[in-house]
Chains A and B, each alone.
Chain A
């Protein structure tokens, strides 16, 4: 059974049996994976404090072909992102990014861009005060990276390019804009201004090291809050637990 070594970000941990843990991680080289860490709750020597949510770790594991669960062998901490748990909001935001990545990405598909995206946003949440924009920017960049890019340049019904003065909406089921003429029969369409459209376009066009410089207006925050979580829920097929959590603690993100 070959041994693999990779860098990874821990997305989820679940207790299994008396001392084992099922670990979901997003690796730099092999994408999302699930593994079993035997004796993780007891063995501080092999896994230590490194095996924790959101941690950036170096992992080694054994994998049989055609077997879903890899066997984790060793885990060394690279970056703990320890400010994420210093407050309930960054913890909620970090959890939302991790859960979204876990739900939307396919297992075993290499996707370096997503690893870099998640790492960057954990880094931002660890170093800067939490802002709602970060969730929206992450959402749209993840959607684009996975091929679910919303159509933000033209009406998804009549294909007309949207202009500055147009009254437009965003249709959740069509995955993009609908002009005022075509929006009449759309049940799941929400108003969106051209300003918000431009900000969302910028959110995925900006280079990753500059995303923290993007600020949304109050109107853009309200409109994107109405649209993006609904679009995500439509794609995933359920409401994420972390989104429910953020709603319940009454953080204006959802």
Chain B
């Protein structure tokens, strides 16, 4: 028989994504075995994150100051916006260290099966940004899935009349991949998106 306090903790932890009851139980026992200061630091950081973190009013990335550091910063390619599905995708692209432009987070993709329409995404806000800033290129970096592609094509059709260059992230062989194990669709994309080798 578990104490009421432990049961409450397990119940709350198991509400987190990917956490089942057994994992929640292991986490609960681990937490109560920790020094009090560490538990307090963890609890405080959760409360701080919830209270201080908001969405950037320009790019809609998660931030604790508005506008976010990227929108405030002196980026080399401020005339390029990379459109991503989620803040996690933005973070993944930032980790590459190669993109020096701005971002726009849609917070999802067009999904009829979840009744997510274009009006539910930050598309209207993207269009406002494009109208009020001199943007030369929009990179559509949604996932190469059915819903990601639908969203990218929908945006490309919206952006076409604005005279902005619209590009899509390249699709093809992953680095370290083996050609013989790749599916036909990926190989086809990599053939279609082949490029000239530049030796300079």
Instruction: Point out residues on A near B: beta carbons under 8 Å.
Output: 12, 17-18, 44-45, 48-50, 52-54, 76-77, 80, 84-88, 91-92, 95-96, 98-99, 241-242, 244-246, 248-249
Select B110's contact among A45, A53, A86, A91, beta carbons within 8 Å. Answer: A91
| In the assembled complex, B197 has its CB within 8 A of some CB on chain A | no
Given A49-B144, A88-B150, answer yes or no on A18-B114 (Cβ-Cβ < 8 Å): no
Given A44-B177, A52-B145, answer yes or no on A246-B186 (Cβ-Cβ < 8 Å): no
Is A96 a contact partner of B112 (Cβ separation < 8 A)? yes
* B residues in contact with A48, CB < 8 Å: 182-183, 185-186
| In the assembled complex, B184 has its CB within 8 A of some CB on chain A | yes
* B residues in contact with A50, CB < 8 Å: 183, 185
Count contacts between A and B, CB distance < 8 Å: 75
Between A50, A52, A85, A241, the greatest number of chain B beta carbons within 10 A of the residue's beta carbon is seen for: A85
Select A91's contact among B144, B150, B177, B181, beta carbons within 8 Å. Answer: B150
- B residues 162-200 with Cβ under 8 Å of A? 174, 177, 181-186, 189
Q: Please, how many angstroms separate the alpha-carbon atoms of A236 and B98 in the complex?
A: 50
- B residues 111-136 with Cβ under 8 Å of A? 111-119
| In the assembled complex, B154 has its CB within 8 A of some CB on chain A | yes
Given A17-B18, A77-B183, A248-B117, answer yes or no on A84-B112 (Cβ-Cβ < 8 Å): no
Is A244 a contact partner of B115 (Cβ separation < 8 A)? yes
Q: Please, how many angstroms separate the alpha-carbon atoms of A76 and B118 in the complex?
A: 31
* B residues in contact with A54, CB < 8 Å: 146
Q: Please, how many angstroms separate the alpha-carbon atoms of A54 and B149 in the complex?
A: 13
| In the assembled complex, B153 has its CB within 8 A of some CB on chain A | yes
Is B113 a contact partner of A242 (Cβ separation < 8 A)? yes
Number of interface residues of B (CB under 8 A): 28
* B residues in contact with A91, CB < 8 Å: 110, 112, 146, 150
Q: Please, how many angstroms separate the alpha-carbon atoms of A241 and B147 in the complex?
A: 15
Is A49 a contact partner of B186 (Cβ separation < 8 A)? yes
Is B115 a contact partner of A242 (Cβ separation < 8 A)? yes
17 A-B pairs whose Cβ atoms sit less than 8 Å apart in the complex? A18-B18, A44-B174, A48-B183, A48-B186, A52-B146, A53-B146, A53-B147, A77-B184, A80-B185, A87-B153, A88-B150, A91-B150, A99-B112, A241-B114, A245-B117, A248-B117, A249-B117
Between B119, B146, B189, the greatest number of chain A beta carbons within 10 A of the residue's beta carbon is seen for: B146
Given A99-B113, A248-B115, A248-B117, answer yes or no on A45-B181 (Cβ-Cβ < 8 Å): yes
Is A12 a contact partner of B183 (Cβ separation < 8 A)? no
Given A17-B18, A45-B181, A242-B113, answer yes or no on A86-B147 (Cβ-Cβ < 8 Å): no
